[in-house]
Structure formats: structure tokens, C-alpha cells
Structure 1
Amino acid sequence: MIQFIVKRLLAGLVLVFAITALVYGLMSIASGNIARTLLGEFATPEQLAAKEAELGLDQPLPVQYGTWLVHALQGDFGTSWFTAEPVASAVLNRISLTLSIVIAAVIVSTIISVTLGVLAAVRRGRVDRTVQVFSVVGEAFPNFWIALVLVSVFALGLGLFPPTGYVPPSESFFGWIATITLPVVALVIGGIASTAQQVRSAVIDVLSKDYIRTLRARGLSERSVILKHALRNAAPPAITVLSLQFIGMISGAIMIEKVFALQGLGTLAVTSAIRGDLPVIMGVIVTMSILVVSINLLVDLANGWVNPKVRVQ
């Protein structure tokens, strides 16, 4: 198991390195004359040259990336070109907001989708058809459109939730619940659909196996057969879908944060990309890449825990 984890971590590091190199190159090309943007159109050539030298932009692109990489490995991601805020602080101050929404959405989505998927697999009549219809409808509407509807109806119309803003749980737990409820619901509706369908298909497949019939013949209750045996063996596909959902929700949170005016990691990424603030963009990219690698590793470990065949492989 340790060897497996080490291999996964090394592969993850290679992936992070490749992503950062690619993004750094593309953003350096797309940013244009950042010195002109910072100093204004009336800056003299001498001032522009001095600013480029200050930012290290007078060096060849490979040298620029190498310098950034060396500092990043030491934990120094630089400062924002526009606000002079340390990149590490900018990311850390905003990641808790984004993760609180995404993690809450994944937990809610997991509970609801697994429940619906099992019910649809066990009760193959009206419940099954209802879940399938809900899945199709949920996947048909983008989460930012759902967010706009939720704001219009439940925040502006009924006044049940605040339309914008965020309250940390350290300040007020109930205030935190109120501010993340609509963003979480907007993320969850689309996510429930695909996971519930995956759980349904996996449980139906497991229930058709010979060992399930043997367990029933031995007199085990249907509840025990489903919860202790069928659901565990159907878990790996669902866990994989949930991991992809987690990653998708991180990217989906970008639009959700814009709708609800939340100052999270997604808003920071969009603002920095529009400005061409390369140090901040790279800090966000590294953070996102590490999150994705960590999630994939946890999924592999979870699959090994629920499925002994995976541990052997």
C-alpha cells in the first residue's frame, strides 16, 4: 500500500509540474504587455523597461518559469502584480469559502443521490421512473441558471436567504448555513442526477449476482443484503463518480461565486485571469492541481478499502 501511495504521489507531482509549465507559458503569452497595463499608456520606455526588469519579464520565458518554480518549491509564490498582496495569503484567505461550499455540496449530494439510487434499484416501478426523470431534468439545466432562479425566488422574492455575502462559521454558525444554502443547492441539483443514476445501475448489477441470491436463500433480511453486501460492492463506481463530481463542483463554484458575489477562489481566479495577474493565477492553479491529485488519491484508497480486489491489484 505504501508503494502504491508513493507511486501515486510521484505521478501527481509530475502532473502538477506539467500543468504549471503549460499554464505559465500560455498566460505569459496571453498577458501581453503587462508593464504597460500596470504603469498606464503614458509610461516612458525607460519606465516600462525598469518595470519589466523588476517583475523579471526581461528574462527568457524558460528562465522566468524556472525562477518561479524554485521560489514556489520553497513556499514563496510571490505577490500580486496589481495589489501587492502575497499570493499565498490571497489563496488561503479565499479557499476556505470555496471548500466549505463544495464539501457541503458533495456531502449533501452523496446522501441524497445514494438514497435515490438505492431506492430506484430496489423499487423498479414509479420510484425508478421518478429518479430517472429527475436525473434528466437535473442535468439539463446549468448550475449558474439554477443559481439565478434560486436567488430570484428564495432570496429576492421570499426573503428566506441572503442574496449575496458570506458569513464564516466562526462568526455565526446559523449565518454560515444561511449564506451557503443556496450556493450548495445550486451545485447539488445537477450533481445528484449523474450519481443517482450510477448508484442505481451499480446496485441493479450487484443484485443480479449469484451470491446475492445465496444470501437471500440463507434467510438474511433484504435490508441486510442491500446495505451490508450489495451497496458495498456497488460503491467503487459511485465513489469514482463522486470524485469527478467533487472536481466538477470546484470548477462550477466559479460561476456560483459570481452569482452570489462570494469572494472565493473562483472569483479570485476569474479576476486574476482578466487582469493577467500571473503570480496569483499560478497560485490558484497549484492549489487546484494539488486538490485534484489529493482527491484522486483518496478515491483510490477508498476503492481499495471497499473492494479487496482493488487492494490486490
Structure 2
Amino acid sequence: MLMFILRRVASSAVILVSVCCAAYALLFFSSSSIARNLLGPEATPDQVALKEAELGLDEPFLIRLAGWWAGAVQGDFGTSWVSGQPVFEAIGARLPVTLVLVTLAVLLTMLLAVILAAWAAVKRGILDQVIQVGSIAGTALPAFLIGLILVTVFAIQLGWLPAISTIYPGSGLASWASSLALPILALLISGAASTVMQLRSAILRQLDADYVRTLRSRGIDDREILFVHVLRSAAPAALTLLGLQFVGMLGGVVVIEQLFAIAGIGTLAVSATSTSDAPLVMGIVLYTIIIVIIVNLLVDLMNGWLNPKARAS
């Protein structure tokens, strides 16, 4: 198990360094437009050149990359070129909102998907067909379109929930709950629709396995077979889907945060990218990669614990 963990940590470290270097290279080769974007279209070439020298944009790539890594390993990601706020503080103020939104959406998605998938796999018949059709329809609709429908119905027409976020520093639980209800529901509908069919297939494979027929021949109750044996055997597939859903929602939450005006990492990333704020962009990239790596590492460890064969792969 120790070697399994070490292999996963080593591969995660390689991915982290590779992606950060690639992102920094993209920013470096677009550095000719960064100073222009910061100063505006009316800036003279001399002003642009001075700004590039001030920000160190005229230095060679390897020197700039080494300087960024030297600060990053010490937890110093620099300051925003636009606001002057330390990158660590800017991200720290937005990260909790995004993590709460994505984590709750993923957990509720997996709970709903497991219930519907098990229901469809066991009952079959018309119920199974209805769930399959609903899953296909939900998958065809993007999360932002579902969000627009939810805003129109529950916020504009019924007035039950706010159309935009009311979360601010120090806001209470009621503000968080009312502001995140519709975004979580939009992600939940979209995520569950794309997950149900895959979980259904995994559960059906277990129900058709020889050990299930053996358990039934021994007179063991179907509920015990489903909840104790089948779902446990299908757990590795569910965990893999859990990791994929988290990564997918972490990327797709950008649009949801824009739609509901949520002050999260997604809106910060859009703002930093549009203003060519390189230190902030790199900080967001690094934090996002770290979160994705941690989630995938936890999923791999849990799969390795459930399935010893996975440790050797």
C-alpha cells in the first residue's frame, strides 16, 4: 500500500509541475500583449516598454519561471497586477465559496445518482425506461441552461430564491443557503443525468454476476444483497465517477458562478484572464491543480483500499 501511495504522489507531483510550467509558458509567449492590456489601447510604445520592465516581462523565460517557482514553494505567489492585492489573499477570499458549491453539488449528485441507478437496475420495466429517458434529456441540457430555467421559475416568477448571490464576507448561513440553492440544483440535475446511466450499468453487471446468484440460492434477502454486496462491489466505479464529477464541476462552475454572480474562483479566473493578470492566473491554476490532484489521489487511495488489484496497476 505504501508503494501505491508513493507512486500516486510522485505522478501527481509530475503533473503539477508540468501543468504549471505549461501555463507559465503560455503566459510568457503572450507577454507582448500583457502590458498593453494593463495600460489600455492608448498607451504609447515607450509606456508599454516601461511597464514590461517594471513587471519583469522583458526577462528571459527560464529566469521568470525560476523566480515564480522560488516564490511558489515558499507560498508567495506575488501580488495582483491589477488590484495590488496579494494573490494568496485574493484566492483565499474566493475559494471557500467555490469549494462549498462544488462539494455539496457533487455529494448530492452521487447520492441521487446511486438511488436512481439502483432503482432502475432493480425494478427495470417502465421505471427504468423513464429514468433512462430523463438521464438522456438531462445530459443534453448544459448546466447553464438548466440554471437559466431555474432562475426564471424560482427567482423571477415565484420569487422564492434570489437570482444572484447575496453572499458577502461575514454573511450568515441563511444567505449561503439561499444563494447556493439554485446553483447547486443546476449542477445536481446536470451531473446526476450524466452519471445515472454509468452507475446503472455498473450495478447491472454486479447483479448478473455469479456470486449474486449464489447468494440468492442461499436464501439471502434481495435488499441485503443489493446494499451489502452489490453496491459495495460497484463502489470503485462510483468513486471514479465521483472524482470525474468533481473535476468536471470545478471547471464548469465558471459559467454557473457568472450566471448567479457568485464571488468564487470561477469569476476571479474570468476577471484575471480578461485583464492579463498573470500572477493571479498562475495562482488560480496552481490552486486548481492542487485541488484536482488531492481529489484524484483520495479516489485512487479509496479504490486501492476497496480493490487490492488496483494497487498493482
Deviation track 1:54-96 (CA, whole Å, cap 9, x = no partner) reads: 2111211221111111111111100011110111111111011
| Maintained 8 Å contact 1:195/1:242 | no
The one-letter amino acid of 1:270's match is: V
TM-score with structure 2 length normalisation?
Answer: 0.95
- Paired with 2:221 and 2:185, the residues of 1 have a C-alpha distance of 35
Residues 203 and 251 of structure 1, relative CA distance in 2, 3 Å threshold: same
CA–CA separation in structure 1 for the residues paired with 2:133 and 2:227: 25
Distance between the aligned counterparts of 1:43 and 1:205, measured in 2? 65
Structure 1 segment 126-275 matched on structure 2, within 5 A: 126-167=126-167, 171-275=171-275
Secondary structure of the residue aligned to 2:163 is coil
Contact 2:20–2:282 (Cα < 8 Å) also in 1: yes
Shift of 1:243: 0.8
Query: Structure 1 residues 245, 40: CA separation in 2 closer, same or farther (over 3 Å shift)?
Result: closer
Counterparts in 2 of 1:203 and 1:61: CA distance versus 1, 3 Å:
same
Q: Does 1:105 align with 2:105?
A: yes
Q: Distance in 2 between matches of 1:234 and 1:37?
A: 51
Q: Is the contact made by 2:38 and 2:276 (CA closer than 8 Å) also made in structure 1?
A: no
User: What amino acid is the match of 2:22?
Assistant: L
CA distance in structure 2 between the partners assigned to 1:216 and 1:169 by the alignment: 56
Indicate conservation of the 8 Å contact 1:169/1:175, yes or no. no
Instruction: Report which stretch shifted further, 35-44 or 84-93.
Output: 35-44
Deviates more, 1:40-49 or 1:258-267: 40-49
Gap regions ≥5 residues in structure 1: none
Distance 1:229 1:41 in 2: 65
8 Å Cα contact 2:138-2:193 kept in structure 1: yes
**Contact 1:28–1:278 (CA<8 Å) still a contact in 2?**
no
Matches within 5 A, 1:284-303: 284-303=284-303
Q: CA deviation at 1:44?
A: 5.6
Q: Which residue of 1 aligns with 2:74?
A: 74
Q: RMSD value over aligned CA atoms?
A: 1.8
1:5 paired to 2:5: yes
Tell me how many residue pairs correspond in the alignment. Answer: 313
Moved >6 Å (runs of 4+): none
Assess, with a 3 A threshold, how the Cα gap between structure 1 residues 111 and 40 changes in structure 2: closer, same or farther. closer
Shift of the 137–71 alpha-carbon distance from structure 1 to 2, 3 Å rule, reads same
CA separation of 1:166 and 1:51: change in aligned 2, threshold 3 A: same
Q: Render the CA deviation track for 1:83-125: whole Å, top value 9, x for unaligned.
A: 1011111111101111111001011101100000000110111
Aligned-pair distance for 1:49? 3.6
2 CA distance for matches of 1:176 and 1:96? 11
2:21 aligned with 1:21: yes
User: What's the TM-score once normalised by structure 1's chain length?
Assistant: 0.95
Q: Aligned partners of 1:86 and 1:280: how far apart in 2? A: 9
CA distance in 2, matches of 1:48, 1:202: 58
Q: Distance in 1 between matches of 2:182 and 2:229?
A: 36
Correspondence 1:60-99 to 2 at 5 A: 60-99=60-99
Q: In structure 2, give the amino acid aligned to 1:249.
A: M
Aligned match of 2:125: 125
SS in 2 for 1:33: helix
> Is 1:108–1:188's contact at 8 Å kept on the other side of the alignment?
yes
Distance apart, 1:264 and its partner CA: 0.5
Partner Cα distance (1:236, 1:115) in 2? 16
CA distance in structure 2 between the partners assigned to 1:45 and 1:307 by the alignment: 62
Task: Report 1:269-284 matches (<5 A).
Answer: 269-284=269-284
Of residues 111-120 and 168-177 in structure 1, the stretch that sits farther from structure 2 once superposed is 168-177
Go from structure 1 to structure 2 and tell me whether the alpha carbon gap of 1:86 and 1:283 turns closer, same or farther (over 3 Å shift): same
1:202, 1:193 → 2: CA distance? 15
**Offset, 1:174:** 2.6
Q: Identity across aligned pairs (percent)?
A: 45
| Distance in 2 (alpha carbons) for counterparts of 1:77 and 1:213 | 58
Supply the distance in 2 between the matched residues of 1:289 and 1:103 (Cα, whole angstroms): 16
